[in-house]
Structure 1
Amino acid sequence: MVSLAITALSVTAVLVPLVMSVSLVYRVSGVVNFGTGGFCVLAGAACASIGATNSLLGVVVTLLLGAVLGGLCYLIAILPAQRRGVPPIGLTLSTLGFGLLLTFLTRVGFGGEPSIIQPWWPGSFTVNGFQSANQRLLVIVLALLLVGLLYLLFDRTMVGRTLIAVADDSDLASMYGVRARRFELLAWVVSGVCLMIGGMFQATLASVSVDVAPTLLVYALVGAVIGGLGSLFGAVGGALVAAIGMTLTDAFIAPGYHLVAMFVILSLALVLRPQGLFTFRGTAERV
């Protein structure tokens, strides 16, 4: 049981930044970011390459790169199309194109081989006879810190509250002098950083490559929908449910059936609670 719990929590820690990113941009821009996998694989490759001699430098540069790419995705793939009245489905396809571009750049710049980031906390620990890497514990703690930071940003700062207002009604917010486009850009920047964090987490626990970009996208989308697409913190619960499903599938059925298990969970969630398992009236009003 200890091994299953640690594995499930570490998988959740990888999924949390991804599902929060997807939910954030959907709530603010009405767009599902299909470029999620491209961001993640670039993050792993960039951090592994840049941080080969200095891991801290690799992390910092990768986070800055995520902020820049998140902003560029909005400015290039979203904003021009929004001004021309392109419907949300068209905007979503634009993010897919941006993600494919990132995947191509990753293959050209870093090669197509799997990228592995050396553990930030080497060594292992033992609980009730089960041995696990310290990195798993570190990733779990960092994911909790990320959730806490985003909670403080959106619930305890004027910037976050203004972003919530833009997400709820951008036209009304603009009437009060809020420059909605700037806050949408901020949401995409934060989203890009979150995706880079998720990509780095995955590369420290296992590996990432251009071939797993579609799989990471599916994980992020399923987790976000299960928790409640558009509910930032409800998506955290969705990530946990998805991670538990994946872990139990590996342990009791067979490895390699993650996607089947996730789609079964997704189908049940949509039948029983289509608005999301963790979206309630109190949380639905939040980003």
Structure 2
Amino acid sequence: MSLIIATLSGAAVLVPLVVAMNLLFRVSGVANFGAGHFTVFAGSFAAYFASLGAFTSALLTVLATVVASVVAYFTAILPARRANVAPIGLTISTLGFGLVLGWLTHEIFGGAAHNIEPWVGGTVEILGTRVSVQRLVVIGAAAVLLFCLYLIFDRTLIGRTLAAVAQDSELAEMYGVRSRKFELLAWVVGGVGLAAGGLFQASLASVSVDTAPILLVNTFVAAVIGGLGSLAGSVAGAVVLSAGIAVTTEIGFGGKESVVVLLVLAAVLVVRPRGLFGSGAIGERV
């Protein structure tokens, strides 16, 4: 049971991050390599304003991260796109913005690790295993967030228009859809996902500028495992990678997680080069 809880709580942190990366890639063809720094910024921001109360600090964190995401779009993406910079150049631009955001996080909140107090204290026993209530809360919150995103993307006109822009932005423009507005919307929703990931990570462990590269690698690897650009694959990739890390820790090889991450990635790509849920069109873009 401890292995299952560790897998689910690890996946709960990764899922909103992977969804954010996959959504941006699907809509704009850009992999946000600043994702780790966005996550650390969110967790550090929440810890800094924790004295305002859990709800207030979480709300401010989401707003601040969304603002940072919008600023990234207007400064790192839009000008480069108008100059016809290739997608790889846009991806590098996101890394540059992430490094700047990481520097600002260090200067404003300090370089020490930050964590926030559990929203709900105490533990419960599940099948003989003591589990912190906070882990269950994070797992439940991630599931609710994922369900809300599913409703938005699959059951609303906005979601279907996003899908149309992702499929063929030029054709969508011909039908009167302003693809740039929906690309900006994708960055806003991505900012919400990155904020959620930062809140979840800081409430279960801690965040610091030094953890940003690890978070980025885990997010990107989980996205590739599930199928880069596939929202359905976000969950699968996060669960598979989290399970690999949890098993590594369970058998006493803690500290070797980076090796396991690469091994899991290699194993999946040998069987499914485009990822578990990757499509042919997305595979060509990768």
Matched, 1:191 2:190: yes
Aligned to 1:136: 135
Aligned to 1:225: 224
Deviation at 1:128, TM superposition (A): 2.7
Q: 1:33 touches 1:92 (CA, 8 Å); kept in 2?
A: yes
SS in 1 for 2:51: coil
Deviation at 1:132, TM superposition (A): 1.5
| 1:79-117, Cα deviation, whole Å (9 max, x unpaired) | 110111100111000000111111111100000010111
| 1:177-213, Cα deviation, whole Å (9 max, x unpaired) | 1110000000011001101110110000000000000
Q: 1:70 touches 1:190 (CA, 8 Å); kept in 2?
A: no
Write the distance in 2 (CA, Å) between the matches of 1:243 and 1:61.
28
> CA RMSD of the aligned region, Å?
1.4
Write the distance in 2 (CA, Å) between the matches of 1:57 and 1:217.
27
Aligned to 1:173: 172
- State the AA in 1 paired with 2:91: T
SS in 1 for 2:254: coil
Q: Percent identity?
A: 52
Q: When the two structures are superposed, what TM-score results if normalisation uses the length of structure 1?
A: 0.96
Deviation at 1:26, TM superposition (A): 0.5
Matched, 1:67 2:66: yes
SS in 2 for 1:52: helix
Aligned to 1:42: 41
- State the AA in 2 paired with 1:76: T
- State the AA in 2 paired with 1:145: V
Write the distance in 2 (CA, Å) between the matches of 1:216 and 1:227.
16
Aligned to 1:162: 161
Q: 2:227 touches 2:279 (CA, 8 Å); kept in 1?
A: no
Aligned to 1:4: 3
Aligned to 1:244: 243
Q: 2:73 touches 2:187 (CA, 8 Å); kept in 1?
A: yes
Equivalences for residues 88-99 of structure 1 within 5 A: 88-99=87-98
Aligned to 1:78: 77
- State the AA in 2 paired with 1:32: A
Aligned to 1:146: 145
Write the distance in 2 (CA, Å) between the matches of 1:173 and 1:277.
28
Q: 2:39 touches 2:194 (CA, 8 Å); kept in 1?
A: yes
Write the distance in 2 (CA, Å) between the matches of 1:108 and 1:216.
20
Deviation at 1:52, TM superposition (A): 2.2
Write the distance in 2 (CA, Å) between the matches of 1:227 and 1:250.
22
Deviation at 1:253, TM superposition (A): 4.4
Residue segments in structure 1 that go unaligned for 5+ positions in a row: none
Residue segments in structure 2 that go unaligned for 5+ positions in a row: none
Deviation at 1:65, TM superposition (A): 1.1
SS in 1 for 2:231: coil
Aligned to 1:269: 268
| 1:8-55, Cα deviation, whole Å (9 max, x unpaired) | 100010000111111110001111100001101111110011122411
Q: 1:69 touches 1:189 (CA, 8 Å); kept in 2?
A: no
| 1:220-271, Cα deviation, whole Å (9 max, x unpaired) | 0000000000001212100000000000011114101111001001011111
Q: When the two structures are superposed, what TM-score results if normalisation uses the length of structure 2?
A: 0.96
Q: 1:238 touches 1:278 (CA, 8 Å); kept in 2?
A: no
- State the AA in 2 paired with 1:202: Q
Aligned to 1:21: 20
Aligned to 2:31: 32
